[in-house]
Structure 1
Amino acid sequence: MIKVRVFGGLRLWREGIEVEIGSIRIQTTLAVLLAARGATVGVAELVDTLWGDRPPASAENQIQRLIGQVRRLFEPDLPNREPGNWLLPVGEGYRLRQDARTSDLMAFFEMAGRQQFDQALTLAQERPFAGLPAGVLGLPAFTAIETARIEVAVQAADLPLLSTYAQSAPFHEPLQARLIRLLTAAGRRAEALAHFEAVRQRLSEELGADPGAELQAAHREALTDLRPIHLPPRVTAFSPRPELTAAVQAGRRAGLVVLSGMGGAGKTTLAVDWAHRIAADYPDGQLYLDLRGFAPAGRQLRPAEALTSLLISMGATPEGDGPDTLTGQFRSALADRRMIVLLDNARDSAQVRPLLPASPGSLVIVTSRNRMPSLVAREGAWPVYVGRLVHSAAKDMLHRRLGAPRLAAEPAATDKLVEICAGLPLALSIAAARIAVSPEESLADVVADLSAGHGLDALDTGEEHDSVRAAFSWSYRVLSEPAARLFRLLAVHPSADVSAETAASIAGADVRAALAELTVTSMLTPLGAGRYTAHDLLKVYAAELSDEGRPDAERRLVEHYLHSSRNAYLTFKLLPPADPGPPPPGVHPSRPVDMSGAHDWYRNERAAVQAVTDLALRRGWARAAALIMVHVRPMRSSQPRLSAELRDQAVRAVEAVAGLGDPELETLILREAAVQLRAHSTDRARDYLLRALAITQARGDLVGQAQILRNLAVAPITEGRGQVTYAERAVGAARRAGEPSVLVYALDMLARMLDDYDEPARAAAVAAEAFDLAGDAGLTDMRCLLAAARAWIALRLGDDEAASRMAAWALDHIDPADEVTTWTSSVILALASHNLGDTARARAEAERSRALVQGREDVFAEVIGDDYFVSYMARVDGVLAAEGTAIGSQ
């Protein structure tokens, strides 16, 4: 265990015992590496630090010796010229590994980044690297640390700590000015004036200088203390938002920051807390005004009313009642001042624009549910989106409001409460308030009530306008009718996010303008690539709103996924299943252009596809449900996931289709259900396939027979030599049917069965025929799968060169989304490379195949077969063990 301290002087401990660092040059070398905070320090920089512009000829050799001595401070038993684990060579320099656990300097910057200013300042009360030569401490890397230490003190606004820091930096005028302002704000005006006089004398006597503008402004403030202080109080249990810290701080340079987000996201709380933190930097005061842009009363504050209120707050008498006149007067009043102007709950850019100062110096903070794109474009406003709290931050908020013992007593209920509130600060605040005022209720009781299906009823304080539902209603009320209609209808979409095409199908209309409006007003959040999401609780609210058009929207939603899934299926160039006809009017299906696009579509829509299929079954639209399930089979089989829900859904689809009198569709869904069930309900899966085979035989459907016979050849549906028999029958039926894609799949199955039953030479010939046919038919994905099959057979025959060549070909041509074939090809290439003595490639492919299945071993085992998967992975692990030894010994 290594510990390094820089504040108060450079010291180092190893395993709890302090280590003597050594000469001043060793100390300086270590200090420069520590000051870099994990970045690389060049040899030239070290030479310049130690010798300046007159280095000796042996400087670089001496640096190498110093680096070795520093290494042995951390690892005393390290052999000469070994880099070890701490001080690493990087290009023409060196990098010292360090983090907050080993270095107080790293811990200081980590705390500062999290706005844990008090802890950071407590850690860094003494000056960093004390005792090193002044010439070293004057270098940029070291002065930057001291500057950061002072800046944290300024940000903290902690009067006792600030006093300590002000003593250690007597000529840092912004720091001294901040202390004067804090003393004034605390009512200690006499101390503030005395401190100013002491600083003034020191500047005059030691530097021959007068106080600068900032110190003089702080002095004037202490003399008069006449300034508006109108910020609302900070929320006591405010949970910091470290992920937003850098963004809001960057906005100070713009002078105009817009904090936007959905209702209840905590914009005002964040803005007020931040304004309090930086208030001392704006000595002429703080103005606050609620513009009522989304207030429940329905009338926003007009610019003239807002300007009148602001002028009165500044002690001025409004002149005239026209907005232009009042704007000019307000801007004149602000011209020579540095103030914070917090404009809360703004409706849009037009409401804010007349309230902006014309000269720099002041900071305007705007909060709104509107993202204010016009203000960003024209006035250069700095936009900061305030989203939901992450899980840990939400728990921190509950911890601050309810206390650790209450949460520790019911950890499962705490996690569930966080999940239900979905990171919305308003929801968490209301839930916490309910728990706090009802100590007789357990968290589990409250969670049970919130989970009981009462919509947003439980997230209500019982007081007027103080509920999640009310907060959402204020945003909904200002929407245009097309945007409001789309918001209501989007409640029928079952997934977390929705594409623009799906939204258009749900509405049955062009929704581009409505989507833009919902995005600007934070009712939807854009995810990029034409996709949008809504907060979980907003979706609950949308579902509460009545709309007689929902049944039609549900039907269009199902049709959208029916035709989108068919378009994705067709990119695989397989024989199309039953034709659903053209899309109905108003439905705008997605149209992937190739297999890669189809895989991307399914990856984005997997959860929605399953939920929409379930919706179709519940509504009695069995044909659509069955076809969707059949359409996504090529994508589902290459992106495997275990799902009991899918198996149950397949059984329900079989039962629903049975009464339609459509033998073709019944055959398709029986096959699909059998594929889902074969590893879990083998007897039922076999029964489904035999039923489907009987239907196709009665109809003379050779294509259907070939496909079903191929499914019957798979274990555990059939065991033993019967697998080969079924595969041969599938090939025969496919040849008679004359459909190339069906024949390719049947030949692939026969090749696998022949290989399993120890006929590798015949299997190789069959796989080669299928490979060529797949190329002629344009079945790229199937050709890659066959390349992997041929590679495996070649490996079995002892032809490692051919195995390596075919597996590499498959990996070069396959869509990365086809996880199963990628994994199979990677395994074979690892084994073949190992046999050929290519250790680097063998290890790389073995590691890739292991990474592909990490955490999903059960899924791959079900898709590939338990025996095969276990056998393959055992051989992969053997390669990793062998090649690890081989590489390590070189």
Structure 2
Amino acid sequence: MTTSEPAVRLRAYGGLRMWRDGVEVDIGPPRQRVLLAALLAARGGVVGITELVELIWGAEPSQSAVNQLHRLVGQVRRLFEPDLPSRATGRWVHPAGEGYRLVADALDTDLAATPSLDAVQEPAFAGLDPEVLEHPLFVTIAQERIQIAVDAADQPSALSGVQRIAASAPLHEPLQARLIRLLVLSGRRAEALVLFDEVRHRLADELGTDPGAELRAAHLLALEDEQPAAHRPVQLPRRVAGFVPRHDLTSALDAQANNAAIVILSGMGGVGKTAVAVDWAHRLAPRFPDGQLYLNLRGFDPSGRLVDPVDALNTLLESVGVSLASLGGTGLDARAARFRSALADRKMIVLLDNARDSEQVRPLLPGVPGCLVVVTSRNRLTGLVAREGARPVHVNRLGDAAASELLAKRVGSARLAAEPAASQDLVRFCAGLPLALAIAAAHASVRPDMRLSEFVEELELDALSTGESGDDVRSAFSWSYEALSPAAARLFRLLAVHPGPEISIAAAASIAGAGPKARSLLAELSAANMLTEADGRRYTMHDLLHAYADELLESSGERLDAEKRLVEHYVRSIRHSYLMFGRPQVTYLGPPSAGMTIERPADFAAALEWYLREKLTLRAVIDLALLRRWHREAIEMVLDLRAARGAVVEPPADSAEQSERALKAAQSLGEPVLEAGMLRESSIGLHSTDPNQFRSRLERALELYESIDDLAGQAMVWRNMAWSTTAEPSERLMYAKRAVDTAELCGEPSVLVFALAALGSELRDQGDLASAADAALEAHELAVQADVLDMSAQTAVKLAEIKLALADHSAAVRYASTALDLTPPAEVFTPFQASAILAEATLALGDTARASAVVSTFRQAAAQHSHIYRVVWGDDEVDAVISRVDACASSMH
């Protein structure tokens, strides 16, 4: 490294940190941290683009993930070199093949050489998402940390360090064996025996194996000269039968045990909080040799009888050997002080199960950090977090794989394997709730001759009960529901009408007419784990909770009004999004109902992102409006969504069936503008599948637009007619020119943009490239001037394509680059076309370096999105574009 280059230091153990010239650098948001962590973990090796995308965005990345990754790489490069130009590679992060590598040889990093035991007390990359840390890059480093502990476990001075690392590797026999030996050498034989017993049970429960030779030898060492153990409370309940380890929580819990005296496990009813807490406490028990206390506080008991803190303290004091007679008539404060004194010199686990609120728990807390308090609750107990420094851990539903594993343990893997489809249906129905899965499995187990498919067909919420009082999913939900404030309970019921996977704050506010109060009500529902917060602005409701809310709503008489408000919310939110595309309104909506809170994307890119996120919900809301015969609202939504659907080049078949129903509704309304709009909308896609119907519908739409003197509508029909596959070329050209002439009369810029674009395409197809270029240029300049942003990018692509055909390679490069610059991240079609043109044009200009980079970008887009391109454009067109780019690549070698 030369003296002019910055000294860069990176640390992985204990959490990713970075220094430049001795000053710590803020690494930035989570995705940026994951990217830098992956490159550092590779230790100079290449990390592929596909691998990075999956690490950062998960198994189902957004369509724009590759583009976003390239931007992230630029941001990471500027962590090393703040003044680096936006498109420069720089010194540290280099492209390599189909990925990137970090130049590690000049870095000062704790991954460059084998560190000491002290240096690896905290896990590498602590704080990253547990799913990210399951990647082989990070698993390898975690295994190296374990080996460091194994190698160091021969001196008593290493005990505390080895214990911390062993807690994160509970099934690693060599490390556990060395820890047992180390405990014996340190005079802690009783702990060594408890640890062996714990490891033996864990191996049997989770792996179905017995201890190996090394563990057995360590056990024999611990048994030599064993002295009777002192009395200590051992109150932990048995582990739940068929418990499935929650690997998603393991690292978070173990990290909290090292850093906190109080850990709160919160989650919805039936999600398995107690099972997780009991399993974790059993695993940690060897580290707390003075025993374990357990108390069920009955915070959500159906009887409503909470355990009073005084009664709770009486039980706990007796458990640690304090005679209640010695306390006399002392009250809560004196008992709490006596309990703290009793635990002052002890290392114990205190598991407080099913707490209602912070006030119920606070008197039961030890006063010294030597004890670990584990609290479970359906509420988040933020008071304990704020005042006592408790560490919160959220217990979520089981994933599909873990849910299937639980069923296999209860029902038998052979039975599940025999009917995989029914097994998947059973997993989906139980919504990842261990309580629901356990009850369903119990019913299936007592009916071994019944096919799973028949059993699943019978399932409903009532089926998730054992028949014993309070032992069912509905009861578990009802206890949480009854504890809500009246306003939050009402919102929970009303949210049953929302059909989408996520509920925004604005949608919830509109449905309930709650205005700004919706935020606090949603926070209450989230704190009670009746909803799950997705990203601070959106919430999800688990399937079984949705079914329970639907039952409550059905009996409340509130459904119809809630559905009306839901539909109005989306009519108005879609309209606002539509206006961001620079299009004229087809209808005017009038003033909103009281309490309506509208989604208002700030710009075109945000409107496109909003559409893609709400796509499933929007379709379901339109279906609801059609079902309720709210035809006008349904039609307005369908027509206003055309702008977004066109921008993402959505296949017409995706919405064709719904459009047909909306057309029939429009024909019954007697409003020409809506019927004509639906005739145009429903004709999209028919030009190739049913050309006669395509023409017939457009001719009828033209009649309707003429009857109301709607020039904009007429222009758009003429533009659509230019797509006709049955018309002669001269006819299609006449239709396109007629569209332009009519659009110029109507005075609406966006309509003229579409007409000019259609004319340019037709002229190009007929070989008049010069005239096509003039029309396309006029369309592009008008689109930019009038802020018709999606067409600004699309017309730039068409213009680049025509310029390429004219061999005007400089202009082709200019307009293809413009198209890429104008394309929002959510739109994946323009980059495919523009990159192909840019590759050919830059190569023709002799700029092979840029051409090579563009080919790489093109191939990434094609690899990630080609299945979508083929649905929209067909195999022949997509293959032709790919062949052109391949030819460019070949000519560069």
Whether 1:527 and 2:527 are equivalent positions in the alignment is: no
**2-structure distance, mates of 1:587, 1:812:** 36
Instruction: Look up the match of 2:447.
Output: 438
**1-structure distance, mates of 2:762, 2:871:** 18
Whether 1:647 and 2:656 are equivalent positions in the alignment is: yes
How far apart are residue 565 of structure 1 and its match?
0.7
How far apart are residue 840 of structure 1 and its match?
3.4
**1-structure distance, mates of 2:696, 2:440:** 52
**2-structure distance, mates of 1:167, 1:733:** 88
Counterpart code for 1:705: Q
**1-structure distance, mates of 2:436, 2:692:** 49
2:736–2:759 contact (8 Å) kept in structure 1: yes
1:263–1:471 contact (8 Å) kept in structure 2: yes
Whether 1:333 and 2:342 are equivalent positions in the alignment is: yes
Q: What secondary structure sits across from 1:344 in the alignment? A: strand
Query: Structure 1 residues 714 and 169 mapped into 2: Cα distance closer, same or farther (>3 Å)?
Result: same
Q: Deviations over 1:281-307 (max 9, x none)?
A: 111111111111111112211211211
Q: Deviations over 1:378-436 (max 9, x none)?
A: 11111000001112211222222233222222222222222222222112111221222
1:744–1:773 contact (8 Å) kept in structure 2: yes
Counterpart code for 2:492: F
RMSD: 3.8
2:180–2:218 contact (8 Å) kept in structure 1: no
1:764–1:793 contact (8 Å) kept in structure 2: yes
One of 234, 241, 265 as aligned partner of 1:259: 265
Q: What secondary structure sits across from 2:448 in the alignment? A: coil
Whether 1:289 and 2:295 are equivalent positions in the alignment is: yes
Instruction: Look up the match of 2:358.
Output: 349
Whether 1:457 and 2:466 are equivalent positions in the alignment is: no
Query: Structure 1 residues 223 and 237 mapped into 2: Cα distance closer, same or farther (>3 Å)?
Result: same
Number of equivalenced pairs: 753
Instruction: Look up the match of 1:466.
Output: 471
One of 307, 315, 319 as aligned partner of 1:309: 315
1:417-816 equivalences in 2 (<5 Å) = 417-450=426-459, 454=460, 456-510=461-515, 511-545=518-552, 546-642=555-651, 644=653, 646-675=655-684, 677-714=686-723, 716=725, 718=727, 720-816=729-825
**1-structure distance, mates of 2:485, 2:813:** 62
With 646-655 and 395-404 compared, the bigger mean Cα shift is at: 395-404
**2-structure distance, mates of 1:699, 1:555:** 30
1:820–1:860 contact (8 Å) kept in structure 2: yes
Counterpart code for 1:492: V
Q: What secondary structure sits across from 1:230 in the alignment? A: coil
Q: Deviations over 1:146-178 (max 9, x none)?
A: 9669953897499x9789536865875387553
Q: Deviations over 1:724-760 (max 9, x none)?
A: 2211111111122222221111001100110011110
1:181–1:192 contact (8 Å) kept in structure 2: no
TM normalised by structure 1 equals 0.78
With 716-725 and 167-176 compared, the bigger mean Cα shift is at: 167-176
One of 258, 275, 282 as aligned partner of 1:276: 282
**1-structure distance, mates of 2:705, 2:682:** 16
Instruction: Look up the match of 1:300.
Output: 306
How far apart are residue 796 of structure 1 and its match?
0.6
Query: Structure 1 residues 300 and 514 mapped into 2: Cα distance closer, same or farther (>3 Å)?
Result: same
Query: Tell me, which stretches of 5 or more residues in structure 1 are unaligned?
Result: 1-35, 42-82, 98-105, 115-119, 131-136, 200-218
Q: Determine what percentage of the aligned residue pairs are the same residue.
A: 44
1:654–1:673 contact (8 Å) kept in structure 2: yes
2:184–2:222 contact (8 Å) kept in structure 1: no
Query: Structure 1 residues 571 and 529 mapped into 2: Cα distance closer, same or farther (>3 Å)?
Result: farther
Query: Tell me, which stretches of 5 or more residues in structure 2 are unaligned?
Result: 1-39, 46-96, 114-122, 135-139, 201-216
**1-structure distance, mates of 2:234, 2:689:** 70
How far apart are residue 491 of structure 1 and its match?
0.3
Query: Structure 1 residues 269 and 457 mapped into 2: Cα distance closer, same or farther (>3 Å)?
Result: same
With 539-548 and 612-621 compared, the bigger mean Cα shift is at: 539-548
Query: Structure 1 residues 625 and 286 mapped into 2: Cα distance closer, same or farther (>3 Å)?
Result: same
**With CA pairs under 8 Å and 6+ residues apart, which has the higher RCO, 1 or 2?**
2
**2-structure distance, mates of 1:833, 1:192:** 69
Counterpart code for 1:178: E
Counterpart code for 1:509: A
Counterpart code for 1:656: A
**1-structure distance, mates of 2:174, 2:782:** 79
How far apart are residue 864 of structure 1 and its match?
4.5
1:791–1:828 contact (8 Å) kept in structure 2: yes
Whether 1:874 and 2:883 are equivalent positions in the alignment is: yes
Whether 1:849 and 2:849 are equivalent positions in the alignment is: no
TM normalised by structure 2 equals 0.78
How far apart are residue 502 of structure 1 and its match?
0.4
**2-structure distance, mates of 1:146, 1:409:** 49
Q: Deviations over 1:358-395 (max 9, x none)?
A: 11211100001101111111111110000011122112
How far apart are residue 851 of structure 1 and its match?
3.5
**2-structure distance, mates of 1:166, 1:397:** 31
Q: What secondary structure sits across from 2:354 in the alignment? A: strand
1:427–1:468 contact (8 Å) kept in structure 2: yes
**2-structure distance, mates of 1:315, 1:517:** 40
Instruction: Look up the match of 1:178.
Output: 191
Whether 1:152 and 2:198 are equivalent positions in the alignment is: no
Counterpart code for 1:759: D
Whether 1:410 and 2:434 are equivalent positions in the alignment is: no
**2-structure distance, mates of 1:341, 1:680:** 70
How far apart are residue 194 of structure 1 and its match?
10
Q: What secondary structure sits across from 1:528 in the alignment? A: coil
**2-structure distance, mates of 1:616, 1:728:** 38
**1-structure distance, mates of 2:223, 2:735:** 100
Bigger Rg, structure 1 or 2: 1
